[in-house]
A and B are shown apart, each in its own frame.
Chain A
């Protein structure tokens, strides 16, 4: 209750009303202050109020947080403590602009650490006069960090793209080089992908088959099979999983040797490359050579046979008495002539093999009897050299279908070698074993063995081990070549194990065929 001075009244005096009104206004003002203060404090963004001269007059808690300074430490300070050398620029801008939005600056905290910020400012006006500025800043550290990371990522990406581009160019260059090599390669090349589609055919291969790449590229084996010119090749590919030096006669004057190679990328097969090497010329030369050898051998064999029979007649006394000394010379001559005949026969066999004229006349024979008959030929030699010879026979009678004459040559060659290269008193064991579908023949000796570095040439023509050449000059080096061809012609396998100065074991197998099965087939 407010009373006017001097008199009492139930009506409040003007003074009391004014006092009450002021009190109410002050309360409103106090409320407004607390409201403004709460709002100011609540804002998560750093906001401060600047005098027109750039003095900080108020700062909210978010400003305290970002700057590391208390509000009372900030008030009265120039914004220079926040923006350093850029302060004047900001003040000029504040004077010039009505509103500043998202201008980037560097803000410095208590420890002078730079913080990238986005600055917002708005002047506060009273009667058209700027009385200060509300300034808000937005911490861009995180955004900048992300931006920086993005820039790095972008740079890395650009580098990667550049690398990729370079790699692409390199790959392109490599591809061009490879294509140039492929195009100019003297061999025919065909590349098949995993699905056995022909992806590439080089000009040489196109020339071989007299067709263009457009006709065949992208086609599957089945589609290629329909192209008559490619038929022999595709049939070969379909038949064989892997092709190695397979001969392919395309025309009278074109013989190719086909070899396939798996193409790997990171150890994974991505396709197959077929190389076609033109061996026409080599074949022609080989044929000419074979023909020459054949003619020469034939021409030689006739006089050698005549010499043989003449010498035989001398030795048998059919042409009169001869002295012991003469007999001795004639016997040596006879033996040399025999060796020459054997060599000529071997050469003829080789030429027949090479010409494909080594005819086989297979008949069923008792294999043990065949082996025994060969062993009988060497009885005297075994005895003379005091060889401990052993024959291990199978329990079962084995009848195999072989060309008896050729098989005898093969067995004879193997036993002859074993005896020849085993020193007197050594051991030779012949064994015949029976497996389920094949028989296995082996000759084991305790001979000189084959040097390790020469073993891969054992079955080639004219091969003779360096160690055996030293110990014996005889031998044509054709025996094992012929033997291998005989065994393989019978669809058998031949191999050996050998260690120098320990001995060798030669093996071969022959497929066993039931006579009855064969009998049925005939009907």
Chain B
């Protein structure tokens, strides 16, 4: 499913030609992937997801900011998010109950753990366990959580920080999202 949002981001930024370039790059890497043929509800190997991200970065020479933008863009066009919209009744319920479900719907590996939600002090902490695929994806997730929180909380200014990272001697990935 996330492959679809990757494709939509490339289409937005670079158009169809850009998407073809990415597909060509992936083919060179021995991964013949046609984004248009990807089915929203199908599961694909997790390696394919990170290769798509790397391929896009490689082809367009995207910096970390752009990767963050890709993550930020994904919830906006994600069909899965649309499916979960119905659960966006209360922030608490969505955070503690539905978010882990959303993760499981996205991924067959890893786990999302809601750690803390403080509406008064305007922050939340979320942990990703057993999902150590690439440091680039940490940046992507940072963007993703920012937008997701924005959609959940209804706030304009959101800041997300990975306060613990597996690739930086952490046990897992832990993100703190603050808003105003």
Residues of chain A touching chain B, judged by Cβ–Cβ distance below 8 Å, are 26-27, 29-30, 33, 49, 51-55, 57-58, 70-72, 75-76, 78, 124, 126, 129-132
Contacts and interface: CB of A to CB of B under 8 A. Distances in A.
Contact of A30 (B8, B12, B41, B151): B41
A30 B85 contact: no
Contacts of A30: 39-41
A52 B41 contact: no
A95 to B, nearest CB: 12
Contact of A126 (B86, B150, B152, B153): B86
Most chain B CB within 10 A, of A30, A71, A72, A131, is at A72
Nearest to B149: A76
21 contacts: A26-B39, A26-B41, A26-B42, A30-B39, A30-B41, A53-B154, A54-B154, A55-B154, A70-B12, A71-B76, A72-B12, A72-B77, A75-B77, A75-B151, A76-B75, A78-B154, A78-B156, A131-B85, A131-B88, A131-B89, A132-B86
B41 to A, nearest CB: 4
Contacts of B8: 72
Nearest to A25: B41
Contacts of A130: 89
Nearest to B158: A76
Nearest to B12: A72
Nearest to A51: B88
A76 B85 CA distance: 12
A381 B154 CA distance: 129
Nearest to B90: A52
Nearest to B9: A72
A426 B136 CA distance: 133
Contacts, number: 68
Given A51-B151, A52-B89, A53-B154, A72 B41 contact: no
A80 to B, nearest CB: 9
A64 to B, nearest CB: 12
Q: Is the interface of B mostly helix, strand, loop or mixed?
A: helix
Interface in B111-159: 147, 150-154, 156
Nearest to B39: A30
Contacts of A58: 82, 85
B11 to A, nearest CB: 11
Interface in B19-60: 39-42
Nearest to B93: A129
B79 interface: yes
B87 interface: yes
A268 B147 CA distance: 82
Given A52-B88, A57-B88, A29 B41 contact: yes
Contacts of A132: 85-86, 88
A26 B12 CA distance: 27
Contacts of B165: none
Given A54-B154, A55-B151, A131 B86 contact: yes
Given A33-B79, A53-B154, 11 more contacts: A30-B40, A49-B85, A53-B153, A55-B88, A72-B73, A75-B76, A75-B151, A76-B147, A78-B154, A131-B85, A131-B89
Q: Ordered nearest first, which 5 A-B pairs have the shortest CB separation?
A: A75-B76, A26-B41, A131-B86, A53-B154, A72-B76
A296 B91 CA distance: 132
Nearest to B74: A72
Contact of B40 (A33, A70, A126): A33
Contacts of A124: 86
Contacts of B40: 29-30, 33
Nearest to A73: B76
B102 interface: no
A57 B41 contact: no
B99 interface: no
A30 B156 CA distance: 32
Contacts of A76: 75-76, 147, 150-151
Contact of A57 (B39, B73, B81): B81
A29 B82 CA distance: 13
Nearest to B77: A72
A55 B81 CA distance: 13
Contacts of B81: 57
Contacts of A54: 154
B127 to A, nearest CB: 23
B120 to A, nearest CB: 17
Contacts of A126: 86
Contact of A129 (B41, B77, B89): B89
Nearest to B150: A76
A147 B163 CA distance: 59
A20 to B, nearest CB: 14
B36 to A, nearest CB: 12
